[in-house]
Amino acid sequence: MPLVVPGITSKDDTASKTEEWTNKLVGKKIGEASDATTFAKADLPKETRVIEPGLMVTKDFKPDRLNIHLKEDGTVSHVDHQ
């Protein structure tokens, strides 16, 4: 029987969240309102970090934090959870 610890995110759960956010965000810009090319910043999870090209970030591990990586033009290139 596997050990289950409340509050610990499994890899499968994190992978499905990452895939869900990838489908919602990649190719769009982050802005004030949602439309065909923009996703509203207010609709992002509380634990979100938007990473612009060249931005230095900490290496601390937070499995529930959504990292949104932007291209030079401001569109989302990829997302991950760390």
Which CATH number belongs to the domain containing residue 40 in this structure? 3.30.10.10
Amino acid at 75: T
Residues above pLDDT 90, as percent of the chain: 76
User: Residue holding tokens 């499968």?
Assistant: 12
Residue 65 lies in a domain: yes
Q: How many structural domains does the chain have?
A: 1
Residue 48 sits in which domain range? Answer: 19-81
Residue 37: C-alpha distances to residues 8, 9, 42 (Å) = 34, 31, 16
Q: What is the pTM of this model?
A: 0.82
- The 10s digit of each residue's pLDDT in 8-30 is 555 668 889 999 999 999 999 99
